[in-house]
Chains A and B, each alone.
Chain A
Amino acid sequence: MFIILQWLKRNSYPLLALLLFAFSVNQILRFQIYQHSYYYNSSVSFFRTIDTWRSNVLSYLNLKVDNENLKNENLILRSQLGINKSPLQTFRDTSYYDSISKALNHYKVVYTYIPANVIKNTYNSRNNYFIIDQGSKQGIEDGMAVICPQGIVGVIINTSENYARGMSVLNSKFEITPYLPSIELRQGVIGWSGMDYNYVELREVNRTEQIKKGMTVVTSNYSSIFPPNIPIGKVHSVSLKNKSNFHQITLKLATDFNRLNSVYCVKNNYHIEIDSLSNPILDLPK
């Protein structure tokens, strides 16, 4: 404090001059129209530039997250474009362009995606549910799969006009068949143990299968609800029980249910057709 007072006393003359000068300049900026507008425009431009720099720096820092999100979005788009469309017929035309245009006109779209926002979500109960802000008016139907950029979320179970309720993966009644692409395994059932919202169990996988920690688990193409190759999670731990024929596998979920916000509702346009073919009555001899 004493040093500050000493410094003020020593520099009182230039400080007084500066104070009076600053006051005069302030008067100019306040009352002279041209200077005021020039100062205002310059300061706005200056702060806009600063904001742009700041935004650029922040966006650079967030590149990793953005990149991850883009990759996940890309995954969805890829699944829409490549996997979910299958040719109905093969063309043998001599004209290359003709065959391309015909092929495009004869592709079938298996999955329809409807974006929605989660407005309510539970993840600490034994049976958890979520509510989205889209309903039957927007095309949401019971039985539709719900996914987010990170992975699977659940299945729609109730629909009103403008909202829908879904059963999340964190529900004791939720089950799904997984696919492990690294060993091309479509076996077992995934279900939630009710302990931790970050982990689910993969049951009924034969002990002879070479399951390793870190393996990626995605949705299988055997599911008529979920599109294939949507991430479910990664193998967190693998163990074997004595005298058991199955592995005891824990998966770390890809979806962070604590931060669930934007989701996509997925409709399988051929769901009924597939189900009708699965009917065992058809197998009976006529």
Chain B
Amino acid sequence: MIEFLRIFIIAFVLGFLQSFIITEIDMGVWLRPMPYLLLFIITPVNFNRYGLLVIAFIFGMFIDLTSGTFGTHAASCVAMVYAKNFIDMRYADFDSLKLQGETYVGTETKGLLFYFYYAGALIFIHHFVFFMLDYFEFVSFFRMIFSTIVSSIGTFLLILLFKSIIKR
């Protein structure tokens, strides 16, 4: 219950930051960081996968409603959480995490390189789906890829920053 409440508070704070602060800052055409993805990265590996899918959808819809993107965040969050479930089952190794007394993938449990690949892959998937639905045309494919890469880097750096702030 405490875990759920903690995640709820983090979700609220990240959602608020994303909707009312980061979206409002003009960072140019290519850079659109979305640090709210930290919520799904720090979600325990053994969290109910169906529940997480629904939470991702509702959370994405909330971001969409506040930023006027109507389903783009929701679709990309669902895609990312689906991929997270797959990556967790294949690579996260829940037993070793349990032995270390943790339930999530972090730099302190898996090391910086694994975390870089893990978070980087999830962020990239999210941003790829997001920009694909945002650009919505094949002629802008390379622009879409460039936006995805630049924004993924920005998001990853902000996530590292927030993670160091919330110590998790």
Query: B152 to chain A: closest CB distance in Å?
Result: 20
B49 x A13 contact (CB < 8 A)? yes
Known A13-B49, A13-B50; judge A20-B137 contact (CB<8 A).
Answer: no
Q: Considering the chains assembled together, what is the distance between the CA atoms of A17 and B79 in angstroms?
A: 7
Q: CB-defined interface of B109-139 with A at 8 Å, one 1/0 digit per residue?
A: 0000000000000000000000001001100
Q: CB-defined interface of B124-159 with A at 8 Å, one 1/0 digit per residue?
A: 000000000100110000000000000000000000
Stretch at the interface among B7-15, B27-35, B68-76, B94-102: B68-76
Q: CB-defined interface of A24-48 with B at 8 Å, one 1/0 digit per residue?
A: 1111101110110011000000000
Known A14-B82, A35-B136; judge A20-B57 contact (CB<8 A).
Answer: yes
CB interface residues, A 1-35, toward B, < 8 Å: 12-14, 16-17, 20-21, 23-28, 30-32, 34-35
B82 touches which one: A17, A23, A24, A25 (CB < 8 A)? Answer: A17
A25 x B136 contact (CB < 8 A)? no
A39 contacts across to B, CB distance below 8 A: 136
A38 contacts across to B, CB distance below 8 A: 136-137
A28 x B70 contact (CB < 8 A)? yes
A16 contacts across to B, CB distance below 8 A: 50, 53-54
Does B45 touch A at the CB level, under 8 Å? Answer: no
Known A27-B71, A31-B71, A32-B70; judge A21-B133 contact (CB<8 A).
Answer: no
A31 contacts across to B, CB distance below 8 A: 70-71
Q: Looking at chain B's contact residues, is the secondary structure mostly helix, strand, loop, or mixed?
A: helix
B133 x A35 contact (CB < 8 A)? yes
Does B64 touch A at the CB level, under 8 Å? Answer: yes
A34 contacts across to B, CB distance below 8 A: 136
Known A16-B50, A31-B70, A35-B136; judge A24-B75 contact (CB<8 A).
Answer: yes
Does B60 touch A at the CB level, under 8 Å? Answer: yes
Q: Considering the chains assembled together, what is the distance between the CA atoms of A23 and B78 in angstroms?
A: 11
A35 contacts across to B, CB distance below 8 A: 133, 136
Q: Considering the chains assembled together, what is the distance between the CA atoms of A246 and B69 in angstroms?
A: 91
Does B43 touch A at the CB level, under 8 Å? Answer: no
A21 contacts across to B, CB distance below 8 A: 75, 78-79, 82
Does B23 touch A at the CB level, under 8 Å? Answer: no
A26 touches which one: B71, B81, B82, B137 (CB < 8 A)? Answer: B71
B81 contacts across to A, CB distance below 8 A: 17
Q: Which residue of A lies closest to B129 (CB)?
A: A21
A25 x B50 contact (CB < 8 A)? no
Query: A33 to chain B: closest CB distance in Å?
Result: 10
Q: Considering the chains assembled together, what is the distance between the CA atoms of A27 and B137 in angstroms?
A: 17
A20 touches which one: B49, B70, B78 (CB < 8 A)? Answer: B78
A17 contacts across to B, CB distance below 8 A: 53, 78-79, 81-82
Q: Considering the chains assembled together, what is the distance between the CA atoms of A13 and B133 in angstroms?
A: 23
A interface list, Cβ under 8 A from B: 12-14, 16-17, 20-21, 23-28, 30-32, 34-35, 38-39
B interface list, Cβ under 8 A from A: 49-50, 53-54, 56-57, 60-61, 64, 69-72, 74-75, 78-79, 81-82, 85, 133, 136-137
A–B complex contacts, Cβ < 8 Å, 25 sampled: A13-B50, A14-B82, A16-B50, A16-B53, A17-B53, A17-B78, A17-B79, A20-B57, A20-B74, A20-B78, A21-B78, A23-B57, A23-B74, A24-B72, A24-B75, A24-B78, A25-B133, A27-B64, A27-B71, A28-B75, A30-B70, A32-B69, A32-B70, A32-B71, A38-B136
Closest 5 CB pairs of A and B: A27-B71, A24-B75, A31-B70, A24-B74, A24-B71
Contacts A12-B50, A38-B136 known; list 13 others, CB within 8 Å. A16-B50, A17-B78, A20-B54, A21-B75, A21-B82, A23-B74, A24-B57, A25-B75, A25-B133, A27-B70, A27-B71, A28-B69, A32-B69
